[in-house]
Amino acid sequence: MQVERLEEPAGKAVPETAQRAVPRHVAVIMDGNGRWAAARRLPRLAGHRAGAQAVRRCIQAAIQNKVGWLTLYAFSSENWRRPAEEVTDLTGLLRHYLRHELAELHREGVRLRVIGERERFDRDMCREFERAERITAGNTRLNLMVALSYGGRSDILRATVAIAEAVRDGRLDPAQLDEQQFGRFLYTDGIPDPDLMVRTSGEFRLSNFLLWQAAYAELVFLDVLWPDFGPTHFAEALDTYARRERRFGARPG
């Protein structure tokens, strides 16, 4: 697995995409909202609001580059440990986004799905999730997964418990269990594994995101805070991906 850190040259044009290999599924760890706000002496909520604008740019870039699947790490299971005021701000911003951006996502042909422990949100928020998924269910231009209250370890643990229960109840023969079967018990059942994982803010961590699914993902770390993320950064990450030789453990030819 190769790792590359990128910085965006000022004023660089968006690269042409016609001849390059485009990943089927891009996953993004959106990091840096707090530092962006602190650098401007603004409250953290201002950083999260600016980050929501970057989400719009990222979705548009995915559509323009004909990426079929996009997963955004919006709220981790560990984020519940943040100060109560910040958690309230984050969930309120999420509710506002779902209510005010859904029509535009639908017009753009985006299918929205939520992965993670949605039951940890209040009933009103869960209804918003269900409404957004129902309205966009028939869209095919872009499959957008938003990871909320998601953690890779808890995803694997949850799947393991479900498998143990299936074996106990006689619904699953453990001798027949393989990686494909295991994947059906994860939140991402039916979703292809990410080909490319991008993290912003210059940090070099997966932060408990899609640990099982990212086993063979190409990793790109960008030296840009999430609120400053734009289509050129997305294109640079795709160019880096296109230059990689993906061998999936096989010896080079």
Q: CATH number of the domain that 70 lies in?
A: 3.40.1180.10
**Total domains, the chain:** 1
Cβ pair 54, 227 in contact under 8 A = yes
Tell me whether residue 169 is annotated as binding. Answer: no
- Mean pLDDT over 235-247 rounds to 92
- pLDDT confidence tier of residue 58, bands split at 50, 70 and 90: very high
- Mean pLDDT over 63-91 rounds to 92
Q: Is 241 helix (H, G, I), strand (E, B) or coil?
A: helix
Tell me whether residue 120 is annotated as binding. Answer: no
Residue 237 amino acid letter: A
Tell me whether residue 25 is annotated as binding. Answer: no
Tell me whether residue 80 is annotated as binding. Answer: yes
| pLDDT of amino acid 159 | 98
Question: Residue 182's closest CA among 162, 196, 197, 165?
Answer: 162
- Mean pLDDT over 228-252 rounds to 88
Per-residue tokens: 167: 């074996």
Cβ pair 229, 200 in contact under 8 A = yes
Tell me whether residue 133 is annotated as binding. Answer: no
Cβ pair 149, 118 in contact under 8 A = yes
Tell me whether residue 82 is annotated as binding. Answer: yes
| pLDDT of amino acid 152 | 97
Respond yes or no: is residue 139 known to be catalytic: no
Q: How many CB atoms lie within 10 A of CB 8?
A: 16
Of 79, 89, 193, 228, which is the active-site residue? 79
pLDDT digit string, tens, across residues 6-48? 444 333 434 444 457 899 999 999 999 999 999 999 999 999 9
Quickly tell me which residue has 């290999």 as its tokens. Answer: 21
Tell me whether residue 11 is annotated as binding. Answer: no
| pLDDT of amino acid 245 | 84
| pLDDT of amino acid 249 | 66
* Residue 220 placed within a domain: yes
Question: Which residues, other chains included, contact 103 with Cβ-Cβ below 8 Å and sequence gap of 6+?
Answer: none
| pLDDT of amino acid 246 | 81
* Residue 76 placed within a domain: yes
* Residue 53 placed within a domain: yes
What is the domain range of residue 123?
A: 3-7+21-151+193-243
* Residue 182 placed within a domain: no
* Residue 106 placed within a domain: yes
- Mean pLDDT over 132-161 rounds to 97
Q: Which residues on neighbouring strands pair with residue 75, listed in sequence order? A: 148
What is the percent of the chain with per-residue pLDDT over 70, rounded to a whole number?
A: 90
Cβ pair 74, 145 in contact under 8 A = no
Per-residue tokens: 249: 């453990």
Lowest mean pLDDT among 93-97, 122-126, 127-131: 93-97
> Is a pLDDT exceeding 70 seen at residue 229?
yes
- Mean pLDDT over 211-227 rounds to 97
Respond yes or no: is residue 31 known to be catalytic: yes
> Is a pLDDT exceeding 90 seen at residue 253?
no
* Residue 187 placed within a domain: no
Of 31, 65, 155, 195, which is the active-site residue? 31
* Residue 181 placed within a domain: no
> Is a pLDDT exceeding 50 seen at residue 2?
no
| pLDDT of amino acid 250 | 64
Lowest mean pLDDT among 77-86, 134-143, 205-214: 77-86
Tell me whether residue 48 is annotated as binding. Answer: yes
> Is a pLDDT exceeding 90 seen at residue 4?
no
* Residue 180 placed within a domain: no
pLDDT digit string, tens, across residues 90-123? 888 899 888 889 999 999 999 999 999 999 999 9
Tell me whether residue 33 is annotated as binding. Answer: yes
**pTM, 2 dp:** 0.89
